[in-house]
Structure 1
Amino acid sequence: MDSRTRCLYKTRMRARTSVIESFHYVPAAGWTRTAFSVLRAGKVAAAPDYRIERAAYPGQDILYCLSGRGVVETLGQRLEVRPGQLVWMANEAPHVHAADEHDPWSLLWFRLDGPDPAILRRKLFGEGTLRAVFTDAMNPVPWFERLFAALRRRDAGLDLRLNQLIAEFVLLVDRALAGTGTDDLPNALAAAVDAMRGDPGFAWSAPDLSIVTGLGPSQIRRLFQKHLRTSPHQWLMRERLMQAQSLLVQSDQPLAEIAEACGFCDVYHFGREFKRSVGISPAAWRRSELGTGPGY
């Protein structure tokens, strides 16, 4: 560890802190440019003065509290952490985690890294509180046990296995944030999604969604944010783009007709939104998908 890293990595712990499990892993060269991995993981029973403070560090640290209490400071948030709660720390910014001196915590934790691990955090939490509460039915401890077992064995396919485990973990957190152990949506939200998906070209104003769901606009927005991590407008825009992609490859309709059928104001609005999300224009995407562009 060089002097700069040592400066960034300030640790104050008495010998009474017990490191029950500790794993290190070095992914294959270049792996984290294209997939996710786990760099460190472990289980800690903290002493009263356990405190780790960093200005910045690679990856993202995720802590799950088994017992006791502690506090995490990250991205301007100060989060009190209790048993059954998980906190995601933004390592790219200054961050601190410390045990409660009267009731120090025991933690399961791991550090993930990948192409842009902060994207996973933003996908799950948006700009909200970086904490998830797990019920007994969604206990993440079995996931940590599978992670630790994989890190002990260090099989030849460990890079692939760790990438898979990260995907499973993200789904666990997503369900914890939604407050459900399944992918089933609440009835009102499912009704809104079915209606919008059935007619994505319709304008779908807030009063229209209220008629479908029986809920007020603010309740509908909260349901979309909690369970789908997006707003009704953003969700509908993605549905429209996916319908447009289907029409682009399954029909010979002009772009203007596709734009109108999918609910865009005009072909310019369609082109702008399509390129923003997909990266190329609708016409170029159609040629590429159908194999009619240059080089085919």
Structure 2
Amino acid sequence: MNQGANHPLLSLVTAGCELDQGLLTSFENTIDREICDGGPLDIKFGEEFLDALVETLKRTSSDQEIKTDLLNLALRLRTTMALQLVRGETKETGTFGLEKVRDIFCRAIRFDQTEVAEDLLRTGQAGLPFLFYDDDSTPLNVAVKWEAVNVARLLIARGASVVAVTTDGLSPLHTAIYYTTRNSGCISALLDQGASSSAIQHSSGRNAWHMAVNKDAHVLKLLLQKVDTTERTLALATQDGGGFTPVLRAAKKADEEAFETLFLDTTALQLKCVNGVGLVHYVVGMNSLDVLEFL
């Protein structure tokens, strides 16, 4: 991506190659591979690339679909041109169709394009009751899934519910914990606004603490820091669908750090699981004298 106005795609378009959806999809896949390989997404070069591409297309194409593809690409590259394209097209057409708003808004959320999302909300083209996909995921669910911290905070400030659930019973907090990879900004934002860590995801019977055990200890430590004692006591005493409290789940998983993190804060210690296997058996299975000394 770090080739800006000298990117080979520009040479193809300048030479007369049609900028179709297949070509743009291939380009987006290239970007994704670079990011997955640890390469940085250089916004400066993305801006230069799009500026040059738009100038080229002004001379070669007036296709409305190309404008849409450019907007999608600008959102993907997280460039300031995305907002310019949204406002420019709104000025020309007056408003977008429902499906187009859905697509633009969802992409703006996914790629943490706060200004675009805010512009659509401000102009009334998108609303917070707006639902995505077949599981009734709300914009906030989508934002935390993609760890779009800035858009998540914007949606919360606009009144998005932090307790609304999908048809699978996933609250935004459940979703944030399940998908978190890089940082815990979305989790913090949700907890700061009153998201419940004791709420149950109905298909598994797990609450946020059970899910955090399956993620890593830094999420558990964040919950311990943010959640008050009363709610924490309730959540840590709750058994999931398999009959495990969070601390017993950590012991069964043989996660030493998670177990140690939760053990001292669990007041109602579950000594056996529903299968009759004792907590001490799981702890012995960790093969750690330090952990065994906790009991």
Q: What is the TM-score with the length of structure 2 in the denominator?
A: 0.28
The one of the two structures with greater contact order (alpha-carbon pairs below 8 A, sep at least 6) is: 1
> Relative to total residues, which structure has the larger strand share, 1 or 2?
1
> Relative to total residues, which structure has the larger helix share, 1 or 2?
2
